[in-house]
A and B are shown apart, each in its own frame.
Chain A
Amino acid sequence: MTDKMNPDEFDALKGGPVPAARDAARERALAAGMAAFAAQQQKKTVPTKGGALGARLRSIITSLKGNSIMDLRYPLGTAAVALLLLPLGYQLYSTTALTPGGTSPTTTVAAKPAAPEKADDTSALVDKATEAEVVPAEQASVAPVAPEADAVASAAAVLAEPAPSTLPVAPSPAGSVVVSRGVIAPQMAQESMVAGKMMAGTPAPSVMAAPMDGLSGDSFARFEEQRLKVAAEEPVSTFSIDVDTASYSYVRRALEDGYVPEPDAVRIEEMVNYFPYDYPAATGADAPFKPTMAVFPTPWNPKTELLQIGIKGYVPPADGVHKPSNLVFLIDTSGSMDEADKLPLLKRAFGLLVDQLGDEDTVSIVAYAGSAGVVLEPTKAAQKARILGALDDLSAGGSTAGAEGIELAYRLADEARVADGTNRVILATDGDFNVGIDDPEKLKDFIAAKRQSGVTLSVLGFGRGNLDDATMQALAQNGNGNASYISSFREAQKVLVAELGGTLDMIAKDVKIQIEFNPAVVSEYRLIGYETRMLNREDFNNDAVDAGDVGAGTTVTALYEITPVGAGGALVDPLRYGTEPAGAAPASAGEIGFLKMRYKLPGSDVSQLIEAPVTPDLVYGDIADVGDDMRFAAAVAAFGQKLKGSVYGGDMSWSDIAALAQSAKGTDEGGYRAEFIALVKTAGLLKPDGTQDKAVDCATDSCPEN
């Protein structure tokens, strides 16, 4: 750039002295600006004189004379491009599965295969455009009887023949199937012909409303809400338990900051599981938990009932031998961590954790990103001062890629490995997973492989604006650990002090729950939450499939909304109960369902089974009769559904939810429930009743008739 002859001739211009403006001048200028602004605002509010539409009356002749060229805002090139692209765009749009306006459940109506997709010369594009216009005209003749035409086979035929003439009796090379649909809207037919070509029978995904929150930089895995299922068709529901609580902390933080969190940030099961419940604990480490169940009326829907399943992990006796822990803190020290609610909070949080450790436990610290490397070699917790000093010395800054941060952490974990205790890496970050393995898949594999060797991983999320919730969850799930979101010191206390046992001391792993509903009693059911934890039915008995883990004293709650036969109107005739081998035991009529849980003890790779029937004596007629825990969980679920804009949430108002939670407050030792009630009220202010946006468009026929 710089002339070689005079290297810095102009450089002298840099940073030349500029005398400051006089204050008087500055004030005068600002005042003048404000005055102009006010005048402009004034002008805006006073309507212009002249035509009613605000435009000045003008001769139309000037515009016809072509003088408007002066005002040509859209250049001709743009216009030409628009003319070319719009028809093409329309065609592409209408031939993809994203088209709104109804998914067709039977996609066998291949009225006219979209043959030109295959042709690749430019003339095909013209064909395509004309075809788009032709299609609606064809529909009238197709409508009454639409023979199924094999898309690929008839493609050539359609190309060869002039389209309209072939239609009344479209050729059906294969055995023709009569589809009984009265009227086929043009768009649906177009859509179905493509759908048929892509994968017959696959319903196109429904179009969701755009997430409302574009403000934060946090990212969440997308998921669709659990659908209502018909017990006669799919009597078995299988999922992995989820002990994470990150979603609730995140939602609370967002609401407290005055934002309504985006729907994908609201995972109802994590919100429900955030709160401690007083379920009866199991008696011994051999059967580390037992289920507590109850069925009671749904607060938001008078026609349905809630089936609640609660489990509480076994708490090893406190006076027993302390299991040694070997912890490696893997701490993000990138520049973005330099905020009050990130690194400083993290230091205090880990300080709390260190205070909880016994003298024989070891702690190591590895920093990544920024000042990378081993900060503290494995050190016995007896030397608390040294550990806390090392924590204090951490500082955020710089942007060095902290290569092999994670490998370093696992190497230290291996070095200090304890044979019969917890070996865990605790990753603390605000969303920057630049730990040395760039590919998220490889990172997951790495963590999963280390899990096999006995070192687990927990993830603590900090701050807002950069949080990568999806990765957090994925890593913690692969590492058999938990993902928590630390929004405040109070939260740090909850996760790292009050629930330390649950965080560190795993008592059962790969816990899966499977429920078989009795179609004679339950016509429809819906699992609330756990969208990201669903398992296939066959995964239940497959010990290789990873699932959630339960720590000491952890409570896990699952809620099903069930529609009893006769109450909401069964859609399908019930099957004869007892055809499934597992539920056969007494085949007692009136049993609502059958619960099965599989888990592995920490050291074992073979799963154990717990079974329990859901019997009618668990049913309560009135929600007021059930315990506080049950009612509170129902209130949290209602809150989550309302916050998400769920289609199943009913019309329960915020104050109803608050009242329900209030009635279930109980002793509320940690004050969490009181905080929840306050949060419901905040949400009511931010998203007043009546403005609830429906997440799913009920115009589609995929909407439930409940």
Chain B
Amino acid sequence: MGLTAAGAGEAGEALTRALVVRAQNGDAEAFGELLAAHYDRIYRTAWKWCGNRSDAEDVAQDVCVKLGSVIAQFDGRSAFSSWVFRITLNMVRDMQRAGKRRGRHVDAYAELAPDSQRAEQEDGLEHAALWAAVRRLPEQQRDAVLLVYAEEMSHAAAAEIMGIREATVSFHVHQARKTLRGLL
């Protein structure tokens, strides 16, 4: 039955849905609650994709602004959190493309991201190489890998967020593995 887990999750979902509906009807307070509830998740996702705090904070802020203007367009076809996820990924992509044009490159070649925590340096060094390598993957492959591994989603959930088929997600992950074998 699994009633506890399902019950708690459903309750959270229901609360989110209620907040969304209120926000769509113009309730600023509800929108504020929604943002507060989702900010950390947005930021963490952004960090995973960008690899440094300042970019992640920028992206998270952009996502908040975006949400403020498009919340009315959320149609409830997918879960709110997946929708936010998609917006976040789009924001990351937009920012990185813009960044490339401006020539301001993410510290892709640094062996260790500058603001990675000291305590985990040892561990971090090894991981940072992997993270950096993953971030250098082509967008689709990177998204697939990060969604499936860093966000620990199922292939189906990742497919929903990326807007592609499940099999394609598996394909991208597989491709990423092949690409990385050259990089690492």
Contacts and interface: CB of A to CB of B under 8 A. Distances in A.
B47 A28 contact: no
Interface in A321-338: 334-336, 338
Contacts of A26: 39, 43, 57, 60
B3 interface: yes
A29 interface: yes
A36 B67 CA distance: 8
B65 to A, nearest CB: 4
B56 A37 contact: no
A29 B28 contact: no
A30 B65 CA distance: 8
Contacts of A36: 64-69
A434 interface: yes
Interface residues of A, number: 42
A19 B117 contact: yes
Contacts of A25: 57, 60-61
Interface stretch (A7-15, A87-95, A135-143): A7-15
Nearest to B131: A16
Given A44-B26, A369-B1, A16 B35 contact: no
Contacts of B180: 9
A17 B56 CA distance: 14
B66 to A, nearest CB: 8
A334 B3 contact: yes
Contacts of A164: none
A19 B149 contact: no
Nearest to A401: B1
Interface in B57-76: 57, 60-61, 63-69, 71-72
A17 B120 contact: yes
Given A12-B127, A17-B120, A21-B56, A334 B1 contact: yes
Interface in A1-46: 1, 3, 6, 9-14, 16-19, 21-22, 25-26, 28-30, 32-41, 44
Contacts of B72: 40, 44
A11 B64 contact: no
A105 B124 CA distance: 81
Interface in A266-309: none
Nearest to A434: B1
Contact of B40 (A9, A21, A32): A21
A432 interface: yes
Nearest to A21: B43
Contact of A34 (B31, B115, B145): B31
A30 B115 contact: no
Contacts, number: 142
B28 A41 contact: yes
B64 A17 contact: no
B163 interface: no
Contacts of B71: 37, 40
A205 interface: no
B124 A17 contact: yes
A41 B26 contact: yes
A41 B65 CA distance: 13
A627 to B, nearest CB: 48
B9 interface: no
A130 interface: no
A602 interface: no
A335 B146 CA distance: 34
A399 interface: yes
Most-contacted residue by chain A among B39, B117, B127 (CB, 10 A)? B39
A12 B132 CA distance: 13
Contacts of B60: 21, 25-26, 29
Contact of A29 (B3, B39, B48): B39
B23 interface: yes
Nearest to A36: B68
Contacts of A6: 177
Contact of A37 (B23, B36, B131): B23
Contacts of A399: 1-4
A281 B141 CA distance: 82
A172 B72 CA distance: 62
Given A3-B177, A12-B130, A14-B150, A34 B68 contact: yes
A17 B53 contact: no
B179 to A, nearest CB: 12
B145 A33 contact: no
Interface string A183-222: 0000000000000000000000000000000000000000
Contacts of B134: 10, 13
A358 interface: no
B170 interface: yes
Interface in B67-106: 67-69, 71-72
Contacts of B115: 19
B155 interface: yes
Nearest to B176: A10
Contacts of B48: 16, 18
A566 interface: no
Most-contacted residue by chain B among A28, A36, A334, A434 (CB, 10 A)? A36
Nearest to A334: B3
Contact of A3 (B65, B126, B127, B174): B174
A30 B35 contact: yes
Interface pairs A-B: 6 shortest CB-CB: A36-B68, A33-B64, A335-B4, A37-B68, A29-B61, A25-B57
15 contacts: A3-B177, A18-B44, A21-B60, A22-B57, A25-B61, A26-B39, A26-B57, A29-B64, A30-B36, A32-B64, A32-B68, A33-B64, A35-B65, A36-B69, A432-B1
Interface of A: 1, 3, 6, 9-14, 16-19, 21-22, 25-26, 28-30, 32-41, 44, 334-336, 338, 369, 397, 399, 401, 432, 434, 466
Given A30-B32, A34-B28, 4 more contacts: A29-B60, A29-B64, A32-B61, A336-B7
